[in-house]
Amino acid sequence: MPARTSWIPYALIAPSVAFLGALFLVPLVQTIWLSFATADGLTLANYERMTGDLNFSLAVRNTFLLTLVVVPIQVALALAMATMVSKLEKGRDLALWILTIPLGISDLAAGLAWLALLQNTGYLNSALYALGLISGPVGWLSQETPWSLFAAIVLAEIWRATAIVLVILIAGLQLIPKEFAEAAEIFGAKPWTRFRKITLPLLKPSLQSALILRTVLAFEVFAVVYALGGRNFPVLAGEAYTWQNENQNYGVAAAYAVLIMGISLAATAVYLRVLKTRPEQLP
């Protein structure tokens, strides 16, 4: 009997494996190939073009800066929100539903929404003007105001993508048995100690998933940056897009894509190592 069922899981998983193979692995190999292929055979010319470009170091710096600022804030916020939501007795679903609204919005739409708020003739300037704080439109997103542009992008990214971390952490919190916290309370542990010694360690697997997901996505950040800052704030994915669409040099665009993939893989490997959870530590 077991022999007969053993092929069933494979058959069931085959379509998705074939799907990913055809639409993910094949293009991946093609992209890597494209990044090395030049008129003189396989060379590093595209990578040299990429690193020699005037926006390259800026794009690397901006992408890392954005990731380093956005991801920790999002995790901290999501942790706080998740703890609060899980304490709610009534209206928990409603609160969760409202907090996750941004998840349903595409990142470009989110970028455009923030653009409507922050552009010269946007709601922020209108409000400040009505309050008498400014005398005319103030530019927040121009190339001459890099810090307010950066702040705007950080704000939009936090607004847009904190919810995904929240959802993962809430799922993780629900897995933690209440008995641990109750036992600790009996022994006199204060809320902060309980959070640090019980919740956080037991949440590690969920934190790991959330961090991997958010960091990989943060390295790929594009639409929000593009909507708010155009090319005033170069990021890696944006440069890949520019090389593909404006400069029509598919080789350099592929080199950028491979670089982003390399960085994402490295970040994932780091998280897997640093946040490794032994089976006995699982709730």
Partner 1 sequence: MTRQVTFRIIALAATLLAGSSAAQAQETIFYSTQLRPIEEASKVRDVLLKGIPGKVTYVVDEPSPFAVRLKAETQAGKRTISVVGALHGELQPHVPGDLQPIDDVVAKVANRGIPASLMDLGKLGTAQQQYIPWMQATYVMVANKQALPFLPAGADVNTLTYAQLQQWAKNIVDRTGQRRLGFPAGPTGLMPRFFQGYFYPSFTGGVVSTFKSADAEAGWNAMKELWAVSSPNSTNYNFMQEPLLAGEVWIAWDHIARVKEALTLQPDQFVAFPAPAGPKGRGYMPVIAGLAIPKDAPDRAGAVAVIEHMTKPETQLLTATEVGFFPVVKADLPPNLAPGIKLLAGAVAATQGAKDALVSLLPVGLGAKGGEFNKVYSDTFQRIVLRNEPVKTVLADQANVLATLMKDTGAPCWAPDKPSQGPCPVN
Which residues of this chain interact with partner 1, rule CB under 8 A?
A: 54, 120-121, 135-137, 139, 141-145, 226, 229-232, 242, 244-249
CA–CA separation, 124 vs 117, rounded Å? 6
Task: Output the 3-class SS for 11-34.
Answer: HHHHHHHHHHHHHHHHHHHHHHHH
Nearest distance in Å: CB 119, partner 1: 8
CB of residue 243 vs partner 1: minimum separation in angstroms? 9
Shortest separation between residue 34's beta carbon and partner 1, angstroms: 13
Residue closer to partner 1 by CB (options 6, 245) is 245
Question: Based on CB atoms, which residue is closest to partner 1, 137 or 283?
Answer: 137
Residue with smaller CB distance to partner 1, 96 or 253: 253
Q: How far apart are CA 230 and CA 43, in angstroms?
A: 31
Which is nearer to partner 1, 56 or 271 (by Cβ)? 56
| CB of 139 or CB of 283, closer to partner 1 | 139
Buried b (16+ CB within 10 A) or exposed e, 106-115: ebeebbbbbb
Q: Which of 6, 159, 135, 154 is nearest to 81 (CA)?
A: 159
**Nearer to partner 1 by C-beta: 41 or 104?**
41
The residue (of 233 and 271) whose beta carbon lies closer to partner 1 is 233
Long-range contacts of 177-181 (CB under 8 A, 24+ apart): 177/283, 180/283
- The string over 38-66, giving b where at least 16 C-beta atoms fall within 10 Å of a residue's C-beta and e elsewhere, is eeeeeeebbbebbeebebbeebbebbeeb
CB of 194 to partner 1, least distance (A): 49
Q: How far is the CB of 179 from partner 1 (least distance, A)?
A: 51
Min dist CB 37 to partner 1, Å, is: 14
Least distance (Å) between residue 54 CB and partner 1: 6
Distance (Å) of CA 262 to CA 68, 220, 238, 265, 267: 17, 12, 16, 5, 9
Residues written for the chain = 283
Rounded Cα gap, residues 48 and 54, in angstroms: 12
